[in-house]
């Protein structure tokens, strides 16, 4: 077990960003990857026109890359305005307008995991009101995900980098997962276990893995400190991936780290034969 048995995908919103969006699937394929994931690619709009959606779908298909994870609209990402679904007003409206757009785009590519970032606390707004709004919007997202045969992912961010986000622990993310499943009865909300964010929060990663692997539908990794490739920080990511596998996880492991140079050179830790999707 370990890296040699994992199924890796590469996040095209943090890697290969030195080339335009429509060129990234081919760049990932040239680096040996057959599976990719994306944050919502158009931060300026939750509802891009069909031509833009078609162009990205065509680029993914032409490169032979499978989209295995997609974020719903989440505002400025990366940036300080992460998340939209719990932010009253225009941002929440944009999230709602995006739900079916994102779900249908995911279905058109066989993508079965949709990630919904919660959103920051807002000055002058009661946190309880934000949480009620969030639950309403997450129910809508869960139903859309169910309609297209996908799971809804709930992710914990980290307090040092996202101090206004209320979901900065595995326990809190699982609490939201349970609330959504209880509210919809669909049981399609799951935990997105991002080992970088959890380590930044000071969590015991082995304990999180042991407690919550059975609630987890997607994993993302980056080393800490620095959010770099495995081996650039202090985390024993191969041991953690092995522990996940022993706990029964056989899903995708998303590479969501910052390259120190050209993205094509950011995978020396992972031999090329291991980058292709294995089912």
In tens, the pLDDT along 55-94 reads 999 999 999 999 999 999 999 877 766 789 999 999 999 9
- Rg value, the chain, Cα: 17
Number of domains in the chain: 1
Residue 279 has pLDDT above 50, yes or no: no
- pLDDT score at 273: 79
DSSP 219: E
Domain span at residue 189? Answer: 3-274
- Catalytic residue IDs: 155, 256
In tens, the pLDDT along 88-110 reads 999 999 999 999 999 999 999 99
The answer as to whether 73 is a domain residue is: yes
Cβ contact 157:82 at 8 Å? yes
In tens, the pLDDT along 210-263 reads 999 999 999 999 999 999 999 999 999 999 999 999 999 999 999 999 999 999
Alpha-carbon gap, residue 97 to 55, rounded angstroms: 20
pLDDT confidence bin for 277, thresholds 50/70/90: low
**pTM of structure:** 0.96
SS (HEC) of 11-50 = ECCCCCCCCCHHHHHHHHHHCCCCEEEECCCCCCCCCCCH
Segment 262-268 mean pLDDT = 96
Longest CA pairwise span in the chain (Å): 52
The answer as to whether 136 is a domain residue is: yes
Q: How far from chain centre, in Å, is Cα 272?
A: 23
- pLDDT score at 221: 98
In tens, the pLDDT along 148-200 reads 999 999 999 999 999 999 999 999 999 999 999 999 999 999 999 999 999 99
Write the CATH number for 163.
3.20.20.150
In tens, the pLDDT along 98-144 reads 999 999 999 999 999 999 999 999 999 999 999 999 999 999 999 99
The answer as to whether 279 is a domain residue is: no
């Amino acid at each position: 077990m370990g890296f040699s048995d994992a199924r890796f995908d590469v996040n095209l919103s943090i890697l290969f960003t030195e080339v335009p969006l429509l060129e990234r699937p081919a760049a990932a394929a040239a680096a040996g990857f057959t599976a990719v994931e994306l944050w919502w690619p158009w931060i300026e709009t939750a509802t891009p026109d069909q031509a833009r959606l078609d162009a990205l779908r065509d680029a993914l298909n032409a490169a032979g890359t499978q989209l295995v994870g997609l974020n719903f609209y989440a505002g400025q990402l990366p940036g300080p305005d992460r998340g939209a679904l719990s932010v009253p007003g225009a941002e929440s409206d944009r999230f709602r307008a995006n739900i079916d757009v994102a779900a249908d785009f995911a279905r058109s590519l066989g993508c079965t995991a949709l990630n919904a970032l919660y959103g920051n606390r807002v000055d002058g707004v009661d946190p309880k009101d934000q949480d009620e709004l969030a639950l309403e919007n997450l129910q809508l997202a869960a139903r859309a995900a169910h309609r297209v045969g996908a799971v809804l992912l709930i992710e914990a961010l980290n307090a040092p980098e996202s101090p206004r986000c209320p979901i900065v622990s595995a326990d809190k993310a699982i609490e939201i997962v349970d609330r959504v499943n209880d509210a919809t009865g669909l049981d399609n909300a799951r935990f997105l276990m991002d080992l970088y964010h959890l380590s930044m929060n000071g969590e015991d990663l082995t304990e999180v893995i042991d407690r919550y692997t059975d609630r987890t539908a997607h994993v993302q990794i980056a080393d800490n400190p620095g959010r770099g490739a495995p081996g650039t920080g202090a985390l024993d990511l191969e041991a953690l991936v092995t522990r996940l596998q022993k706990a029964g996880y056989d899903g995708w492991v998303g590479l969501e780290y910052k390259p120190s140079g050209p993205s094509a050179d950011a995978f020396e830790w992972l031999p090329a034969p291991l980058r292709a999707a294995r089912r």
